[in-house]
A and B are shown apart, each in its own frame.
Chain A
Amino acid sequence: MEEFFQQLTNGLAVGGIYALIALGYTMVYGVLKLINFAHGDLFTYGAYLGLTLLTSLALTDRLGFAAGVLVLALMVMGLVAVLGALLERAAYRPLRQSPRLSAVVSALGASIFLQNTLMLIYGARFQVYPDNILPAATLNIFGLYLPLMRVLIVLASVLMMVALYLFIQKTKIGTAIRAAAIDQDAARLMGIDVNRVIMLVFLVGPALGGIAGLMVGLYYGQINFTMGWVYGMKAFTAAILGGIGNIPGAMVGGLLLGVIEALGAAYISLAWKDAIAFCVLILILIVRPTGLLGERVADKV
């Protein structure tokens, strides 16, 4: 039983990261009906920018751990958000009126471009975060070993997801985003600047992806220019699982995927971990083609 709860917390920690990245996929899909395949690479940029800023500015030395990491997180979110907006401007806006397939190809191209740029700048070897930054405390609760950082990561993810949910549901700008997601033309007729809404979506989504990258870098320590592929793939799956286009769905889907992976690996087979996760996805889609919380069906792509 102890092992079961340990695996559950392992799954939640991984799932929290999936969920944060999944939010970026689902927000863009909700408004543009586009799968932003470059989103996983924006996540990688978060990890690399975090490393560069951390080592070059020595933030945690100057400001202490908590304030240093907080400032670092804000800087990474800001920079990756700008990168996301540039991506939208360069790769997607010119194709707004084109067939949807063109935008998907453009997304794949952007992904390859971003990934290889990173490799050319930082090199193909693994990069490593300095290992003395985070407090290495491990909590022991009823025999469960919970490294303090994992708890903080899950809490931070949940906090950001809740903040995003409130932003979308309760503010005027959030209402505009939801309106644009339902019908862009009608939203435009109601006086909403749809281009600005899309720009905003490309600021918020990548910012969340970037912070996920920073958390992965800080906690796991080792980063590499291809890591966005695996995480992007999983987060995309999580978004589908929860119902793509639906924000609470992405959160539930991410956490659920993490837990399914952990428990599948623990009680069925390690080597078949990914296969088990995808089988569950297929089963859920057979029963609920729109995903767990989804309302709209992805009819193309």
Chain B
Amino acid sequence: MKQKLWVLAAALGLGIAAAAGAADTVKIGLMAPMTGSWASEGQGMKKIVELLAEQQNAKGGVLGKQIEVVTEDDGGDPRTASLAAQRLTTKGVAAVVGTYGSSVTEASQAIYDEAGIPQIANGSTAIRLTEKGLKHFFRTAPRDDEQGRMAAQTIDKLGFKKVAILHDSTSYAKGLADEANALMKKKGRDIVFFDALTPGERDYTTILTKLKGANPDVVLFTGYFPEAGLLLRQKKDMNWKVPFIGGDATNNADLVKIAGKEAADGYYFLSPPQPQDLDTADAKNFLADYQKKHNELPPSIWAVLAGDGFRAIVAGIAGAKSADGGQISGYLHKDLKNFSGLSGPISFDAKGDREGEVYRVYKVDGDGKFVLQKL
């Protein structure tokens, strides 16, 4: 509380200073869910961005000025987010990092774009966000369709020929299944099975028997972890040894609990890397600093991607030699290539989507641990 008051006082002081016309800092906005059901993500985002700002300021800031992070709470709620965005646009921020949920980001996009302020979202994966032709919108998060691409590529690399695809009719799972199906068909993979199960049931042996009849080399299941766990368990009971690959909705520790360690052993799934699996030197150093300061690891990869958004903005300001929104966006679109981010190289395409792969392949080991695979 004391600290909050101090920040408030500092902000007020700075407000007065800014009003007096002495803009001696570069302001970067952070819009994050500090309250509500995603509060743990928002707090991780804030801790990461503030630590990065601190480190950058120790190195002299940007354009010879110190960086000031201005945080606004979006509450994980679209309506709160549009208010937060309006507040940030009136505070003179050069660019904004955030936010987490796709619908929340969507509610703020137009406001920043109209004000000419670059926005880099960190957790919003919905495809439509970058299909609107907004000039100032970017994201460090992957798009939902990238996962389909990654699924097809992984099956390719693992050398499976005959593929069975199973989804659960939800829009997320069916979308992923359709995407992967189309890509693999184009590449000449033999799709021997494509169908949906009914989520929420207990017995999937009928489906497994039918799958087994199709005799695939691998089964791609795009649904959620409760069904994945049951499928693995019942597959083992049938003495069927086919490998399963799942999407990021199966990245949940309960998967192993439901399936049992023995049945979960060898299960592959796709997911953005967990923070402790980031392998760049930058990331390792930063995570060590973060752990020293906060005594824990960041809550998820999405918070780390907020840090990458912040670093990209700093690079954009330095590269454009200006804190003007239009110039920063121009630099990010055209000149920022293979910038070394915490989560790997960062480049943005014309739509503002991140180029390159964010998804990694994980495999469950005999102890039920999720182990990053090098493919």
* Contact residues in B for A147 (Cβ distance below 8 Å): 237-238
Interface residues on B, range: 20 to 34
CB<8 Å pairs between A and B, sample of 13: A10-B206, A126-B226, A126-B258, A131-B260, A136-B237, A145-B239, A147-B237, A149-B237, A220-B230, A221-B260, A227-B200, A261-B206, A273-B198
Q: Quick check: is B374 within 8 A (CB to CB) of the other chain?
A: no
Q: Quick check: is A252 within 8 A (CB to CB) of the other chain?
A: no
* Contact residues in A for B198 (Cβ distance below 8 Å): 271, 273-274
**Given known contacts A126-B254, A270-B210, is B203 in contact with A10 (CB within 8 Å)?**
yes
Query: Within the complex, what minimum Cβ distance (angstroms) separates B252 from chain A?
Result: 10
In angstroms, Cα B210 to Cα A222, docked, is 22
In angstroms, Cα B255 to Cα A128, docked, is 10
Q: Quick check: is B51 within 8 A (CB to CB) of the other chain?
A: no
Which residues from 212 to 231 on chain B have a C-beta closer than 8 Å to any C-beta of chain A?
213, 226, 229-230
* 0/1 interface trace, chain A 190-214, chain B, CB 8 Å (1 if under): 0000000000000000000000000
Closest Cβ neighbor of B195 among chain A residues:
A270
Given contacts A131-B260, A222-B258, A270-B210, could you give 20 more A-B pairs where the C-beta distance is less than 8 Å? A3-B210, A6-B209, A7-B209, A10-B206, A13-B203, A14-B203, A128-B254, A131-B233, A138-B238, A140-B239, A147-B237, A220-B203, A230-B201, A261-B206, A266-B209, A270-B207, A271-B196, A273-B198, A273-B206, A274-B198
- Residues of A that sit less than 8 Å from B by CB: 3, 6-7, 10-11, 13-14, 125-126, 128, 131, 136, 138, 140, 145, 147, 149, 216, 220-222, 224, 226-227, 230-231, 261-262, 265-266, 269-271, 273-274
Query: Within the complex, what minimum Cβ distance (angstroms) separates B222 from chain A?
Result: 14
Closest Cβ neighbor of B208 among chain A residues:
A10
Q: Quick check: is B169 within 8 A (CB to CB) of the other chain?
A: yes
In angstroms, Cα B207 to Cα A262, docked, is 8
Does A138 contact B233, Cβ atoms closer than 8 Å?
no
In angstroms, Cα B229 to Cα A182, docked, is 47
Query: Within the complex, what minimum Cβ distance (angstroms) separates A257 from chain B?
Result: 13
- Residues of B that sit less than 8 Å from A by CB: 169, 195-198, 200-203, 205-207, 209-210, 213, 226, 229-230, 233, 236-240, 254, 257-258, 260-262
Q: Which of B169, B196, B258 contacts A128 (CB 8 A)?
A: B258
Q: Which of B237, B261, B262 contacts A138 (CB 8 A)?
A: B237
Query: Within the complex, what minimum Cβ distance (angstroms) separates B374 from chain A?
Result: 30
Number of A-B contacts (CB under 8 A): 84
In angstroms, Cα B177 to Cα A201, docked, is 48
Q: Which of A13, A131, A261, A262 has the most CB of B within 10 A?
A: A131
Query: Within the complex, what minimum Cβ distance (angstroms) separates A62 from chain B?
Result: 23
In angstroms, Cα B169 to Cα A145, docked, is 29
Query: Within the complex, what minimum Cβ distance (angstroms) separates A157 from chain B?
Result: 14
In angstroms, Cα B233 to Cα A131, docked, is 10
Does A265 contact B210, Cβ atoms closer than 8 Å?
yes
In angstroms, Cα B237 to Cα A221, docked, is 12
Does B201 contact A145, Cβ atoms closer than 8 Å?
no
In angstroms, Cα B195 to Cα A269, docked, is 8
Query: Within the complex, what minimum Cβ distance (angstroms) separates B109 from chain A?
Result: 33
Closest Cβ neighbor of B197 among chain A residues:
A270
Query: Within the complex, what minimum Cβ distance (angstroms) separates B168 from chain A?
Result: 10
Does B207 contact A265, Cβ atoms closer than 8 Å?
yes
Does B206 contact A221, Cβ atoms closer than 8 Å?
no
Does A3 contact B196, Cβ atoms closer than 8 Å?
no
* Contact residues in A for B236 (Cβ distance below 8 Å): 136
Query: Within the complex, what minimum Cβ distance (angstroms) separates A183 from chain B?
Result: 40
Does A138 contact B206, Cβ atoms closer than 8 Å?
no
* Contact residues in B for A274 (Cβ distance below 8 Å): 198
Does A227 contact B239, Cβ atoms closer than 8 Å?
no
* Contact residues in B for A7 (Cβ distance below 8 Å): 206, 209-210
In angstroms, Cα B227 to Cα A222, docked, is 10
* Contact residues in B for A271 (Cβ distance below 8 Å): 169, 195-196, 198
Closest Cβ neighbor of A226 among chain B residues:
B200
In angstroms, Cα B203 to Cα A208, docked, is 20
Q: Which of A136, A140, A222, A231 contacts B226 (CB 8 A)?
A: A222
In angstroms, Cα B254 to Cα A224, docked, is 13
Does B233 contact A221, Cβ atoms closer than 8 Å?
yes
* Contact residues in A for B206 (Cβ distance below 8 Å): 7, 10-11, 14, 261-262, 265-266, 270, 273
Closest Cβ neighbor of B196 among chain A residues:
A271
In angstroms, Cα B262 to Cα A224, docked, is 22
In angstroms, Cα B201 to Cα A274, docked, is 11
Query: Within the complex, what minimum Cβ distance (angstroms) separates A215 from chain B?
Result: 11
In angstroms, Cα B207 to Cα A261, docked, is 11
Closest Cβ neighbor of B226 among chain A residues:
A126
* Contact residues in B for A221 (Cβ distance below 8 Å): 230, 233, 258, 260
In angstroms, Cα B236 to Cα A136, docked, is 9
Q: Which of A138, A220, A230 contacts B239 (CB 8 A)?
A: A138
Does B209 contact A3, Cβ atoms closer than 8 Å?
yes
Does A216 contact B202, Cβ atoms closer than 8 Å?
yes
Closest Cβ neighbor of A261 among chain B residues:
B206
